[in-house]
């Protein structure tokens, strides 16, 4: 995403694209319904924990480890094979995201480096820093052209500046741009999808849209399937107003589906308590 030009607040400008205001309003209503549920008011910590688990499962599914929820719930060792390590990385990122909220607005690049370090759980020179020219990127499901290291650095700096400066853009728009930009850039050698979705989660929580993290967008990104997710990402990468609006709408729908998931959990708990 370009951060230059005549528009002082490019994120706010995206909020005026056709259909985006409707998505923002629809998301707000969906989130409000969850927070207004009687079970949410009484057992919010349980809903938050369940949303974290389901969000981690959804993010891992988009990165190639599509495990049943109960398998994620029961498993304690995530070091076995590639899929297990992906699920483990997703769970670690979900747990870590809430610890980084205070740093995000001051130093988003530091947070992204930390997220990659947590996801990769390695000690190599490439862990926790943007990739350099010639270094491979392991992100098999994203087939967009891979930007060079100089472009990655410039666009990450631009993204960080937008976050630090803030502005009037709705939280959904900011979260969608952070998510889309990180996936388009793939700034790290691995785990970019997991990091991008964790960063989206941080924006949604830190903005106050979903402060208790009970509307896991990762669930909504995964539910329609990876092909739908990647097609929406193509719209973001195109840079066209129509493509950007479609990506923001997709992210909005993902939050709504996450809200629906937690509403269902609330309803199940309510039936059990009856």
State the pTM of this model.
0.94
Task: Say if CB 116 and CB 127 are below 8 A apart.
Answer: yes
In tens, the pLDDT along 56-104 reads 999 999 999 999 999 999 999 998 899 999 999 999 999 999 899 999 9
**CA–CA dist 5, 91 (Å, integer):** 39
Helix orientation angle between 82-97 and 38-62, rounded to the nearest 10 degrees: 140
Q: How far is CA 30 from the centre of its chain?
A: 18
Task: Say if CB 137 and CB 192 are below 8 A apart.
Answer: yes
In the predicted model, residues of the chain with pLDDT beneath 50 are 2-6, 274
Task: Say if CB 23 and CB 248 are below 8 A apart.
Answer: yes
Task: Say if CB 162 and CB 104 are below 8 A apart.
Answer: no
Burial (CB count <10 Å: 0-12, 13-18, 19+), residue 53? middle
| Per-residue model confidence (pLDDT) at position 5 | 39
> If phi over 0 gives left and psi between -120 and 50 gives alpha, with beta otherwise, what is residue 5?
left
Count Cα neighbours of 81 within 13 Å in the Cβ-side half-sphere: 3
Strands annotated E in 11-159? none
The token pair at 71 is 């398998």
Place of tokens 């990769």: 120
């Amino acid at each position: 995403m370009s951060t230059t030009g005549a528009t002082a607040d490019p994120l706010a400008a995206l909020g005026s694209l056709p259909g985006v205001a409707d998505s923002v309003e629809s998301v707000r209503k969906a989130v409000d319904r969850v927070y207004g549920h009687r079970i949410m008011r009484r057992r919010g910590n349980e809903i938050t924990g369940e949303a974290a688990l389901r969000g981690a499962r959804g993010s891992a599914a988009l990165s190639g480890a599509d495990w049943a929820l109960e398998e994620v719930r029961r498993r304690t060792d995530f070091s076995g094979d590639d899929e297990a390590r992906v699920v483990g990385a997703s769970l670690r990122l979900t747990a870590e995201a809430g610890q980084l909220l205070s740093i995000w607005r001051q130093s988003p690049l530091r947070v992204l480096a930390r997220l990659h370090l947590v996801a990769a759980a390695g000690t190599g020179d490439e862990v926790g820093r943007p990739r350099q020219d010639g270094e491979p990127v392991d992100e098999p499901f994203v087939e967009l052209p891979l930007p060079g290291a100089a472009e990655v650095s410039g666009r990450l700096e631009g993204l960080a500046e937008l976050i630090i400066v803030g502005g009037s853009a709705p939280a959904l728009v900011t979260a969608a741009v952070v998510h889309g930009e990180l996936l388009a850039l793939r700034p790290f050698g691995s785990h970019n999808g997991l990091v991008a979705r964790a960063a989206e989660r941080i924006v949604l929580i830190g903005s106050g849209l979903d402060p208790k993290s009970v509307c896991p967008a990762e669930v909504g990104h995964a539910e329609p399937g990876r092909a739908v997710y990647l097609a929406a990402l193509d719209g973001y990468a195109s840079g066209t107003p129509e493509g950007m609006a479609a990506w923001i709408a997709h992210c909005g729908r993902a939050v709504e589906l996450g809200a629906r998931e937690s509403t269902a959990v609330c309803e199940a708990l309510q039936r059990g308590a009856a």
